[in-house]
Chain A
Amino acid sequence: MSLTSKFKEAMVGLKAGRVTLDYPAHPRPVPENFRGRPIFDAQKCIGCAACANNCPAREILVLDVCQEVRILKYLGRRCTYCGRCSDVCPEKAITMSHEFETATNKISDVHQRLDLFMSTCQRCGRCFKETSPLEQLKLKGYRFDDLENERWIFRSRSFLESEPLVDDIKIELD
């Protein structure tokens, strides 16, 4: 190897310059179409639980504490940021933000919990989807996911607990 080729190699190496990002000191903008952490807007949310039904990771839990209040909890731990919840949201209450710096030492930091005020359907009490029209008439479709153990429960139920968390109207079991 001659001296000129070594010189050429050195010139190539010098031309590249410094490529390393100075990342934690200087912020790094993300691409425009980047999907980060979903942000839930409590003012726009109507509590239809379409996001909970469509989440592939079963990440959004819904608990009806009484006839009027529905808790919607987003866990955020196994979220793949697929954006399906924001696609199916009828009110555009979920926006995929550009947040990606979600590193924590407590996983409960990425939780989001909304207490939603639900109005009562004047026909059935609570609107929902069931297999047959007769069952749609009979059942009410309250959801009772396990918030403490963060478990999705696959059935809806037709009645609320006899002793709800919020001391409100006693709702008869049907």
Chain B
Amino acid sequence: MLRNLCQKMFGRSLWVYHANSGGCNGCDIEVLNVLTPYYDVERFGIKLVGSPRHADVMLCQGPAMRSTARALRCAYDAMPAPKLVFAIGGCACGGGIWHDSYPVLGPVEKVIPVNFYIPGCPPRPEAIIYGVAVAVGLVDKKVSPVEFKQLQMPIPRYHPSDLRGEGEMVVYEKAEKI
């Protein structure tokens, strides 16, 4: 549904605004690398603009810091209505390595709603292009959650209190019940 909405809303081209709220500039360099002729993202009509008022998409890098969260929120509110937010990098997706320190509030989604996540530290330029292509609808997303569940519990009925020491050996009294 979101993809159909994206294709309807952003039919022609995305203008991106590049917001760094306290990252280490690694993701910034990768985003600017995406805009170079080698990974030419203007093939998809993506253009970097300097003001959030001109932008459709906000590329967030860095966690929401205590000092920049308000500015990030203001920049998000300044964007015109059909807007997307990309969280690029481990800091924007999950708060980064210093997610529990004092100046870091946490991931960007604590301050503004995030539509697409591109984890990585920093993500490869191909990964950023892939995220944009997922958003535009060119490709499908590849990841899915992995769960290994114990459907049946093969639990032997024993407990450490049932152990009895006999000299050097530890004997398990209820061993025959397993």
Contacts and interface: CB of A to CB of B under 8 A. Distances in A.
How large, as a class, is the contact surface on chain B?
A: 35 or more
Interface in B124-178: 124, 126-131, 133-135, 138-139, 141-150, 153-161, 163, 170, 172
Interface in A69-125: 69, 75-81, 99-115, 117, 120-125
Given A19-B37, A122-B170, A40 B146 contact: yes
A20 interface: yes
A58 B106 CA distance: 13
A113 B148 contact: yes
Interface stretch (B9-17, B53-61, B72-80, B91-99): B91-99
Contacts of B115: 105
A81 B120 contact: yes
Given A77-B93, A79-B121, A123-B170, A103 B130 contact: yes
A79 B123 CA distance: 11
Nearest to B109: A107
Contact of A99 (B117, B142, B148, B150): B142
A103 B121 contact: no
A128 to B, nearest CB: 13
A115 B155 CA distance: 13
Contact of B119 (A110, A125, A168): A110
B123 A68 contact: no
Contacts of A75: 94
A50 to B, nearest CB: 18
A139 B148 CA distance: 29
A137 interface: no
Given A21-B38, A107-B93, A169-B157, A77 B172 contact: no
Contacts of A105: 2, 115-117, 134-135, 141
Nearest to A34: B124
A19 B37 CA distance: 7
A69 to B, nearest CB: 6
Given A57-B90, A123-B160, 9 more contacts: A24-B139, A67-B159, A77-B90, A78-B95, A102-B120, A111-B146, A117-B154, A123-B163, A123-B170
12 contacts: A23-B130, A24-B139, A57-B97, A66-B155, A77-B107, A100-B120, A102-B123, A102-B142, A102-B143, A122-B160, A168-B155, A172-B161
